[in-house]
Structure 1
Amino acid sequence: MGYIGRKFRVRRILFPDSQRGLIVPVDHGLTLGPIHGMQVTDDLKGWVFNNSISAVLGHKGMIERLISRNMLHPSTGVIVHLNGMANIAPESDTKIMVSNIQTALQLGADAVSIQINFITTNFEHNIAMLGAVTDAAHAAGLPLLTMLYDKVKVPSVEEKVRRLNHLLRVVTEMGCDAVKLALPDSMAEVSELIARHSPDIRIFFAGGEKTSEEALFKAGRAAIDHGASGLCVGRNVFQHPQPRAFLRRLADCVREETGQTERDVELDLV
């Protein structure tokens, strides 16, 4: 029964007309504190009720406030983020669980997410946490999105790519339904990652640090053209001077038809 629930709910975090998604994370406050564009929940009021967003991702408190204040569009899916750590902590890259599957279900979540930052000392912690969350999410019929970051410094691009391929396989072997990655430095790396891993897991690419609008659209469009399942863009949305117009353009970028075949789009993952 859990498999059927995941298959149904994953549609709620994607655009129905393309089966790709534009996910807007608003989980930054726990990590970074009050930042520009997200000092308080009501800062989101001018743009977050928007059918250009396929899903909003946030911690339980933010999601509860967005729902209770009727700030989410009926077509927008909800992803509850389950772990975190403030960046003022001494080991800020080692995230711990701050919520659970039951809370996500009580909030009406369509999916859950966690972030794992790999440093040299936390592999055991990360893999154990990932395995436990995957089991719990799937037992409840919830898809799991993993935000994956490798923070280990390596001497070459080749080693960086090799490690990322290995960690992507770890996430896939654990049973995750989708993964969010930082955009690599070159489209050749994007193409390789998608070709190798997308038959087993949906791949979303992050908007990353605040960047120029055109640079983000160029990189995002190229990722979609190579077969990515969508984009996951936060700061570049909520710190934009005109977020509603920006979201419409981003959604068009994600939804537009590409050269991908129907098989490429309709991944039978959940």
Structure 2
Amino acid sequence: MASFRLNRLFNPASGRALDVAVDHGFFGEPSFLGGIERMSHVLDVLVEANPDAVQLTMGQAAKLQSRPGRHKPALVMRTDVANVYGNPLDEHIFSHHLPHAIEEAVRLDAVAVCANLMQLPGRPEIREANILSIMELRREATRFGMPLMIEPLVMQDNAAAGGGYMVDGDLDKIVALVRQAAELGADLIKADPCDDIAQYHRVIEVADGVPVLVRGGGRVDDRTLLERTARVLDAGASGIVYGRNVVQHENPAGITAALMGILHDGLSVDAALALVSEDAR
């Protein structure tokens, strides 16, 4: 039954999806608000750009779903909140999922919900908290036919990252955590790119049929972003979940058009880059 909702996430021709994540305000970090200070304006831009989905929190989802008409991005709802990104970190680190998250997602007509599975060096209690959340979410998601997207995050030691935890691109660690996400019953997996993109097929293989959508991470230049996108798709990824690389772009509509061109129309990187400039005119 969960597949019924996923029919609204994945493009029927390409079988792929672009989910633009704008749930960063949930984590309470001032530095995360760049480009998304006025969410109503952000959603005006994104609805016009028309990616396949927008990832929002329960508190912001109504700003998308209250808009009239059928032709707008689908909603993916973030279900958990944590304080692992602070610089400096708080003394007490936590991660909690929302009570009744699945019921809220049903009421808000989401196509999927998203929850973290974090591996933080020296903090196994956070991974335990995530696993407990995922098990509870899995139970309710099955009951209501709501697809569950699990987000395996392998993080560097906070000292190496200069304060808050940052992504670790170690392929072996990513593969192991992606496999755990599959074992926990993920309908979708939102995974990091690895340091050596040529080996990304290993992530797809270990997911073994669970669609993998690749995270975007920090801002990079357009060519780097589009080339990486093409390579993970060639490796077998079913889509991408990009946030800052879209909403902090000087031309969000143009970069969305470029990404959608690669995802759904098989455009080359050069042809997709031309769309960024074309849309800016």
**Common fold, TM-score beyond 0.5?**
yes
Who is 1:30 aligned against?
26
The separation in 1 between residues aligned to 2:184 and 2:136, in whole angstroms, is 9
TM-score by length of 1: 0.84
The residue correspondences of 1:125-140 to structure 2 (distance < 5 A) are: 125-140=129-144
Deviation at residue 235 of structure 1 after TM alignment? 0.5
- Cα deviations by residue, 1:76-101 (Å, 9 ceiling, x for unpaired): 21111110124446268642113511
Contact 1:52–1:251 (CA<8 Å) still a contact in 2?
no
Who is 1:90 aligned against?
90
1:212 corresponds to which of 188, 199, 221 = 221
Contact 2:50–2:72 (CA<8 Å) still a contact in 1?
no
Deviation at residue 52 of structure 1 after TM alignment? 3.8
1:74 corresponds to which of 57, 68, 71 = 71
Who is 2:115 aligned against?
114
Who is 1:174 aligned against?
184
Q: Which runs of 5+ in 2 are unaligned?
A: 158-168, 268-281
Moved over 3 A (4+): 86-89, 91-94
2:262 matched to 1:253?
Answer: yes
Who is 1:193 aligned against?
203
Q: Kindly tell me: are residues 52 and 225 of structure 1, through their superposed partners in 2, closer, same or farther at Cα, counting changes over 3 Å?
A: farther
1:12 corresponds to which of 8, 15, 27 = 8
Contact 1:51–1:75 (CA<8 Å) still a contact in 2?
no
SS at 2:46 equivalent: coil
Aligned AA (1:168):
V
Deviation at residue 116 of structure 1 after TM alignment? 2.4
Who is 1:266 aligned against?
none
Q: Kindly tell me: are residues 134 and 52 of structure 1, through their superposed partners in 2, closer, same or farther at Cα, counting changes over 3 Å?
A: same
CA-based RMSD? 2.3
The structure, 1 or 2, with the larger RCO (C-alpha pairs under 8 Å, 6+ apart) is 1
Who is 2:163 aligned against?
none
The separation in 2 between residues aligned to 1:180 and 1:92, in whole angstroms, is 26
Contact 1:45–1:71 (CA<8 Å) still a contact in 2?
no
Q: Kindly tell me: are residues 71 and 92 of structure 1, through their superposed partners in 2, closer, same or farther at Cα, counting changes over 3 Å?
A: farther
1:238 corresponds to which of 247, 252, 276 = 247
Deviation at residue 145 of structure 1 after TM alignment? 0.8
Q: Kindly tell me: are residues 240 and 92 of structure 1, through their superposed partners in 2, closer, same or farther at Cα, counting changes over 3 Å?
A: farther
Who is 1:228 aligned against?
237
2:148 matched to 1:144?
Answer: yes
Deviation at residue 24 of structure 1 after TM alignment? 0.5
Q: Kindly tell me: are residues 177 and 134 of structure 1, through their superposed partners in 2, closer, same or farther at Cα, counting changes over 3 Å?
A: same
The separation in 1 between residues aligned to 2:248 and 2:143, in whole angstroms, is 37
Contact 2:152–2:190 (CA<8 Å) still a contact in 1?
yes
Q: Kindly tell me: are residues 71 and 150 of structure 1, through their superposed partners in 2, closer, same or farther at Cα, counting changes over 3 Å?
A: farther
SS at 1:37 equivalent: coil
Who is 1:47 aligned against?
45
SS at 1:13 equivalent: coil
Aligned AA (1:74):
H
Aligned residue pairs: how many? 247
Deviation at residue 9 of structure 1 after TM alignment? 0.5
Which 10-residue stretch deviates more, 201-210 or 118-127? 118-127
Q: Kindly tell me: are residues 232 and 91 of structure 1, through their superposed partners in 2, closer, same or farther at Cα, counting changes over 3 Å?
A: farther
Q: Kindly tell me: are residues 92 and 17 of structure 1, through their superposed partners in 2, closer, same or farther at Cα, counting changes over 3 Å?
A: farther
Contact 1:22–1:55 (CA<8 Å) still a contact in 2?
yes
